[in-house]
């Protein structure tokens, strides 16, 4: 397969890049200062694209690669891939579901505990030497809270299972009610936010879920409510979130993702009721390696004519 040209459009872990380089004629988009040069020199020969949650294959790129056969995403999210265009052209699409579920769910619980118990601030309190002048202020209990989850798919269900271990009541919103679920369903996000203490965003990013967290939802969650986002930054109307946190209309937020990553609103930096992470939901050695192996396995299956491991299109 060394003669097959593959375009890498996003930075991935070194293991995956090295394996792709061993197996294919690897082209890295950042090696070409001008995209037009890349396409003019190699566009006619590229048969595969590998991206991640930050970069994929839009309509323009797909049209510029006449021999493109497969787009393999080093992530579970595929909002950077024009799926309709891929379907039209018969281009296969794969992602990396399941293997990152546990890590993302673990991180969601970690964000909740860190936010409610002010763990980051407590750490700074000790490091600064302030403890000798008095005990740290009281924080908020997690156990027994009502957790609302937007999107009860693989990751949402895993978060719910973990939250149950803290004796939390679980409720959810999704496009359709899950008949097999024991959790309480709310037909709108506003109703869900009005009836929970902690609101977790765990749904895919689509046109329908863009800014699903808006001013109305934030106000429904209220000054004693907490927002956790381990989905995508564009799920949240970020200016509305910032103003709600600054004005005290929302109790706090734990955020692993942002609208314009890696740029984060500077207004959040001075707030002690937020926890900010650099999009590390799946960021463990074990999970990223498993994700890389899925990318490699899907590409190998495609070019050998075998069934794809995790087909999306």
Fold of the domain built from segment(s) 5-95+286-304: Rossmann fold (3.40.50)
Question: pLDDT, tens digit, for every residue of 217-255?
Answer: 999 999 999 999 999 999 999 999 999 999 999 999 999
Please report which confidence band the pLDDT of residue 313 belongs to, taking 50, 70 and 90 as the band edges.
confident
Q: What is the CATH number of domain 100-276?
A: 3.40.50.720
User: Does 88 have pLDDT greater than 90?
Assistant: yes
Euclidean distance between CA atoms 30 and 10, whole angstroms: 8
Question: pLDDT, tens digit, for every residue of 166-212?
Answer: 999 999 999 999 999 999 999 999 999 999 999 999 999 999 999 99
User: Does 2 have pLDDT greater than 90?
Assistant: no
Q: Catalytic residue positions?
A: 232, 261, 279
Query: Vertex 257, ends 253 and 259: CA angle to 5°?
Result: 100
Mean pLDDT within 139-166: 98
User: Does 309 have pLDDT greater than 90?
Assistant: yes
How far, CA to CA in Å, does 69 sit from each of 88, 111, 137, 242?
12, 39, 58, 42
Residue 9: predicted pLDDT: 97
The position carrying tokens 């930050």 is 54
- Positions of CATH 3.40.50.720 in the chain: 5-95+286-304, 100-276
Rounded to the nearest angstrom, the gap between the alpha carbon of residue 186 and the centroid of all alpha carbons in its chain is 23
Residue 229: predicted pLDDT: 98
Percent of the chain with pLDDT over 90: 97
| DSSP 8-state symbol, 31 | G
The position carrying tokens 């399941």 is 98
Question: Of 254, 271, 285, nearest to 107 (Cα)?
Answer: 254
For the full predicted model, state whether its pTM sits above 0.85: yes
Residue 255: predicted pLDDT: 98
Please report which confidence band the pLDDT of residue 1 belongs to, taking 50, 70 and 90 as the band edges.
confident
**Angle between helical axes of 101-116 and 154-164 (0-180°, round to 10):** 50
What spatial distance separates the first Cα and last Cα of the chain, rounded to whole Å?
22
Residue 302: predicted pLDDT: 98
Please report which confidence band the pLDDT of residue 123 belongs to, taking 50, 70 and 90 as the band edges.
very high
Residue 65: predicted pLDDT: 98
Question: pLDDT, tens digit, for every residue of 23-59?
Answer: 999 999 999 989 899 999 999 999 999 999 999 999 9
């Amino acid at each position: 397969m060394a003669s097959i040209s593959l375009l890498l459009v996003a930075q991935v872990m070194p293991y995956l890049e090295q394996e792709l380089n061993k197996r294919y004629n690897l082209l890295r988009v950042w090696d070409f200062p001008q995209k037009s040069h890349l396409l003019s020199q190699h566009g006619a020969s590229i048969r595969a694209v590998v991206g991640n949650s930050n970069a994929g294959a839009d309509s323009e790129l797909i049209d510029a690669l006449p021999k493109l056969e497969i787009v393999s995403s080093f992530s579970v999210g595929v909002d950077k891939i024009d799926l309709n265009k891929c379907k039209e052209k018969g281009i296969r699409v794969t992602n990396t579901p399941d293997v990152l579920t546990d890590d993302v769910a673990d991180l969601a619980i970690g964000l909740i505990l860190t936010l409610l118990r002010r763990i980051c601030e407590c750490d700074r309190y000790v490091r600064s030497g302030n403890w000798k002048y008095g005990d740290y202020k009281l924080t908020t209990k997690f156990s027994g809270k009502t957790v609302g989850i937007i999107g009860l798919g693989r990751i949402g269900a895993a978060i719910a299972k973990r939250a149950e271990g803290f004796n939390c009541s679980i409720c959810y919103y999704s496009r359709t009610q899950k008949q097999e679920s024991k959790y309480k369903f709310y037909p709108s996000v506003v109703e869900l936010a009005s009836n929970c203490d902690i609101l977790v965003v765990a749904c895919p990013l689509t046109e329908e879920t863009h800014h699903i967290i808006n001013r109305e939802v934030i106000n429904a969650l209220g000054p004693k409510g907490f927002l956790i986002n381990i989905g995508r930054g564009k799920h949240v109307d970020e200016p509305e979130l910032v103003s709600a946190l600054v004005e005290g209309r929302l109790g706090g937020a734990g955020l692993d993702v942002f609208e314009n990553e890696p740029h984060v609103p500077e207004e959040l930096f001075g707030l002690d009721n937020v926890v900010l992470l650099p999009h590390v939901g799946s960021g463990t050695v074990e999970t990223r390696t498993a994700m890389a192996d899925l990318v490699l396995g899907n590409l190998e299956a495609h070019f050998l004519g075998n069934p794809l491991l995790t087909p999306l299109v």
